[in-house]
Amino acid sequence: MAYSQEIYENAKIRLDARRQQAIRENEERRKAFVAMNPEYGELDRKIAQTSIQLTRVMLSGQKDITEAVAEIRDSNLAMQARQREILRQNGCPDDFLEPRFQCPKCGDTGFADGKMCACFKEMLRQEAYEELNRSTPLELCSFRSFSIDFYPDKAENSNLSPRQIMNKVKKSCWDYANHFTTGSPNLMFQGGVGLGKTHLSLAIAGKVISKGYGVIYGSAQNFFNAIESEHFGRGDDKQYTLNLLKSCDLLILDDLGTEFITQFTTATLYDIINTRLLLRRPTIISTNFNIDGLRKKYDDRITSRLSGNYERIQFVGSDVRITLKVKKKPSEQN
């Protein structure tokens, strides 16, 4: 997949910083070790001199330098063996004074055997996720900030009040986020405007991201706008956003059904839903519509997959934003 130049540069900066950090830590570790074991440092100096000695022999003009080269080699190997012995005497492994790169394969350079390393590909992917989520107010919507006090505490059409139902919904979402894996089920949040679907979606996103997973959150309209722009644009990668949405560990698609629906957006939605089902990648969809309402907007290919492969969670109560506004008024008047 092609990424923007900005994503490449940001990922490379992070990778370089990671490599330099490992080198600095190793230099400090080596300095402390040599201070306690001066012989090790002296051997370092002598080993470095062997390369100079070897160069002199090679340039000496002697016809037979085999014996001289062998002597330098044996001396070098003996000094290296003594260094390993010093390390062991101090209870250290042989590689104790080697840099501890997070990726041993490429040494945190991003490339191994002339090819881009898997660690760099993953960093590019994470950087792309962060770019898509950059405008998302994750820090404002947590489980802690989700209050059930704004939901009515009197039961109407069931034995449980909206407050009791939403308390269960909150706990269910917390359990989902806390135990999330790439094998977690698909969820569909349903209910009217202002009932907390977006808040709990963002709370799940924040928790799952903190566990190290790649999460993409956004409104259906914004995603379709980006995908359509790339598809009909002049960029090198016409499926950049679409590929990210299909491949991320968790996709959270907000406000489904409020987008401007066309043949293109319907085909794109089907592609995203179907591909993620085939890949077994979990998706959370929030919508103001029930299944019957969605059937009026989308064809059977989409609604059958939503009804058959998503666990539906019903949000109830009255618009929390209106409730908050009403509660603020008396204090504002004082």
For residue 151 the two structure tokens come to: 């939901």
Residues of the chain with pLDDT under 70: 1-5, 132, 135-139, 234-238, 320-334
Q: Which helix (H) or strand (E) holds 177?
A: helix 162-178
**272: Cβ contacts below 8 Å, ≥ 6 apart:** 242, 245, 246, 251, 253, 283
Sort 63 into a burial class: Cβ within 10 Å, 0-12 / 13-18 / 19+. Answer: exposed
Q: How many helices (DSSP H) and strands (DSSP E) are in the chain?
A: 12, 7
What is the Cα–Cα distance from 145 to 200, expressed in whole angstroms? 10
What is the Cα–Cα distance from 157 to 313, expressed in whole angstroms? 17
For position 234, what pLDDT does the model report?
59
For position 194, what pLDDT does the model report?
87
φ/ψ of residue 312, rounded to 5: -90, 130
What is the Cα–Cα distance from 26 to 290, expressed in whole angstroms? 59
pLDDT in tens, 53-86: 888 888 877 777 888 889 999 999 999 999 999 9
Q: What is the largest CA-CA distance in the chain?
A: 103
HEC string for 121-176: HHHHHHHHHHHHHCCCCHHHCCCCCCCHHHCCCCCCCCCCCHHHHHHHHHHHHHHH
The domain ranges of the chain are: 5-117, 135-327
pLDDT in tens, 78-91: 999 999 999 999 99
Q: How far is CA 108 from CA 105, 113, 201, in A?
A: 8, 13, 34
Strand, coil or helix: 118: helix
For position 236, what pLDDT does the model report?
52
> Does the domain at residues 135-327 carry the CATH identifier 3.30.70.890?
no
| 250 and 210 Cβ atoms separated by less than 8 Å | no
Q: What is the pTM of this model?
A: 0.67
